[in-house]
Amino acid sequence: MLCFSSSGRLTASLHRCMAVHRQHRQRSTAGSHSYVIVGAGSAGCVLASRLSENASDSVLLLEAGPKDMHLGSTRLSWKIHMPAALTYNLCDDKYNWFYHTLPQTHMNDRVMYWPRGRVWGGSSSLNAMVYIRGHAEDYNRWQSEGAEGWDYPRCLPYFRKAQAHELGADRYRGGDGPLRVTRGKTGHPLHHAFIEAGQQAGYPFTGDMNGFQQEGVGWMDMTIHGGRRWSTASAYLRPALSRPNLRAEVRCMVTRILFDGTRARGVEYQQDGQTKQVFADKEVILSGGAINSPQLLLLSGVGNADDLRQHDIPVIQHLPGVGRNLQDHLEIYVQHRCTQPITLYKAQKPFHMVKIGLEWFVRFTGYGATAHLESGGFIRSRPGVSHPDIQFHFLPSQVIDHGRVKSQIEAFQVHVGPMRSTSVGWLKLKSRDPLAHPIIQPNYLSTDTDMLEFRQSIKLSREIFAQKAFDPFRGPEVQPGPAVQSDAEIDAFIRQKADSAYHPSCTCKMGSGSDLEAVVDPALRVHGLQGLRVVDASVMPSMVSGNLNAPTIMIAEKAADIIKGIPSLHDPGVPVYRPVTVETQR
What are the catalytic residues? 503
Q: Determine the 3-state secondary structure of 108 from DSSP.
A: coil
Backbone angles phi, psi at 303, to 5 degrees: 160, -160
3-state percent helix, strand, coil for the chain, nearest multiple of 5: 30, 25, 45
Which residues, in sequence order, are CB contacts of 228 under 8 Å at separation 6+? 74, 81, 82, 83, 234, 364, 369
User: Which of 242, 194, 237 lies closest to 219, judged by CA?
Assistant: 194
CA distances from residue 130 to 59, 295, 299 in whole angstroms, order as listed? 29, 27, 33
The C-alpha R_g of the chain, in whole angstroms, comes to 25
Q: How far apart are CA 228 and CA 365, in angstroms?
A: 9
Q: What single DSSP character describes residue 120?
A: T
437 CB-contact burial (10 Å; exposed 0-12 / middle 13-18 / buried 19+): middle
Q: What span, in angstroms and rounded, lies between the C-alpha atoms of 330 and 415?
A: 10
Report the alpha-carbon distance of residue 360 to residue 82 in Å, rounded: 8
Q: Which helix (H) or strand (E) holds 102?
A: strand 99-104
Residue 296: in which H helix or E strand, if any? helix 289-299
Helix (H) or strand (E) holding 560: helix 549-564
Q: What values do phi and psi take at 35, rounded to 5?
A: -130, 135
The answer to whether the CB of 41 falls within 8 A of the CB of 285 is no
Whether 519 and 527 have beta carbons less than 8 Å apart is answered as: yes
Which residue from 50, 74, 67, 59 is spatially nearest to 162, judged by alpha carbons? Answer: 50
> What whole-number distance in Å separates Cα of residue 346 and Cα of residue 338?
13
